[in-house]
Structure 1
């Protein structure tokens, strides 16, 4: 029986990408958010990542502990697994109560920061201040100027997804427009990773279908090609961040524009190693 066009599409795209010398190393991050409740649980959560170490030649791996726990675990993971704080400020040390600076992060030996997660962009469900696109661009420039790398989160809530993929891509473009000049001037494109989050799928157990995820990732990459440049579109990595787990990771990994995962709940479980194994095998 002939393979479907949908089945062949990822393989063909990967072959074209490899032939052009633009294969992107996959990347998987574990976002622990505001977990765990007790420091005594940290050793177990760290050990869940032990199985990831064998795939580091094929896949980059990072972990985002809660800010309170970063210093407790930053040296506990297997060599090569990076620790990335979940946020930073945009100006450095000083009179900024409740914040932390890239200077402090760098001094502690960490090289990556995550910013712009939907839960900081107004998705708490509470009247907390929403971090704006302008602020995200300011933070990104600050992070890069200090020599660090950044995982830059974007995504759409359910009402936008219900309007269709064009509305989704318009929302993602809106969140990227302010960083276009930054991406254009960035020589090493691997220093910025885009984490696409369908907000409606975070923590709900509902994931976008692999086809929906690929369609959105490709749309984001096409937008970058048009508004930044083709080199950036070819080289920048785009993670999927909507309830990725060991069950759906193999199918999602097969698509050419999905370069990895930003994993929430599953990163608190041993299955995180299965997710890394899945994308390492697929790419």
Structure 2
């Protein structure tokens, strides 16, 4: 049975001093035999965080995005090869905020996942529906369409990705899908992956809609929820450690 994966998404938060303090608290409070743990940090802090976590080894470093290009005249972009040079293990692709605010399409997200995989960086592919889409009964259609693009572009190595189901209506709103609602969508995604690869069980499918210290245990107890992509709670050491501990005990 594979270990759970808990990945923190710091979003556009942090400072040199705050990052150091947070990581020190995480290292001190990390449970014995923890689950897989990662922190996905702003690009400006990748080098700092990578240097801080390397001596301990309990926390992997993730980026919050990756370029769809290998190199060239793409000012402000960071390539997968650059992330690899910094010791980055994961890269979030297709987060709803990127899709919403930067107009990222399913095809672009699939290309970004492809570039990450080619450089040995594991993409955390985000999928999820808006409140309007859920109320219209389109949840399954939306998440399957989003994942299908990634499967089509990366079919030969799709078992190497991580998927994060993030219902858009539950991100940063304090609302959370019930464990049953989350499991239902995770089961759909697992079935879609199983149709694409005989190694679907290797894929971590994370829940990412406002997972916190209070609800993590119930969510993580679901059959197809393999961990969490944690937002605000990952900036609070005590809360993040509570989630990690819950995931380590499952």
| Normalised-by-shorter TM-score class | over 0.9
2:22 is matched with 45
Residue 195 of structure 1 pairs with residue 164 of structure 2: yes
Are 1:135 and 2:135 an aligned pair?
no
Deviation at 1:90, TM superposition (A): 1.6
Question: How far apart in 2 are the matches of 1:58 and 1:35?
Answer: 25
- What's the counterpart of residue 174 of structure 1? 145
Larger radius of gyration: 1
Shift in alpha-carbon separation, 1:83–1:52, aligned structure 2, 3 A:
farther
Cα distance, 1:103–1:75 mapped onto 2, change above 3 Å: same
Q: Tell me the matched-pair count.
A: 247
Tell me if 1:218 matches 2:196: no
1:76 aligns with 2:49: no
Does 2:132 match 1:155? no
Q: Contact 1:53–1:81 at 8 Å: present in 2 too?
A: no
Distance in 2 (alpha carbons) for counterparts of 1:61 and 1:52: 13
Return the alpha-carbon distance in structure 2 between the equivalents of residues 52 and 196 of structure 1.
Answer: 28
Q: Taking structure 2 as the reference length, what is the TM-score of the superposition?
A: 0.92
> Within 2, Cα distance between the matches of 1:184 and 1:93?
24
TM-align CA RMSD: 1.7
Structure 2 distance, partners of 1:209, 1:281, is 21
State the partner residue of 1:33.
11
Mapping 1:66-105, distance limit 5 Å: 66-77=42-53, 78-105=56-83
Structure 2 residue aligned with 1:209? 178
| Structure 1 unmatched runs, 5+ | 1-22
**Per-residue CA shift, 1:213-244, capped at 9, x if unaligned?**
11111111122223x13x23322110000000
Match of 1:274 in 2: 242
CA distance in 2, matches of 1:93, 1:46: 32
Query: For each residue in 1:149-192, what CA deviation from the matched residue of structure 2 results, as whole angstroms up to 9, or x when unmatched?
Result: 1111111111111123xx111100110112224553118x2x31
Q: Please identify runs of 4+ aligned residues in structure 1 that moved more than 3 A.
A: 51-55, 181-184
Name the stretch that deviates more: 89-98 or 177-186. Answer: 177-186
CA positional deviation for 1:91: 1.8
SS at match of 1:156: coil
| TM-score calculated relative to the size of structure 1 | 0.82
- 8 Å CA contact 1:184–1:232 kept in 2: the answer is no
Asked whether the 8 Å contact 2:111–2:153 carries over to 1, the reply is: no
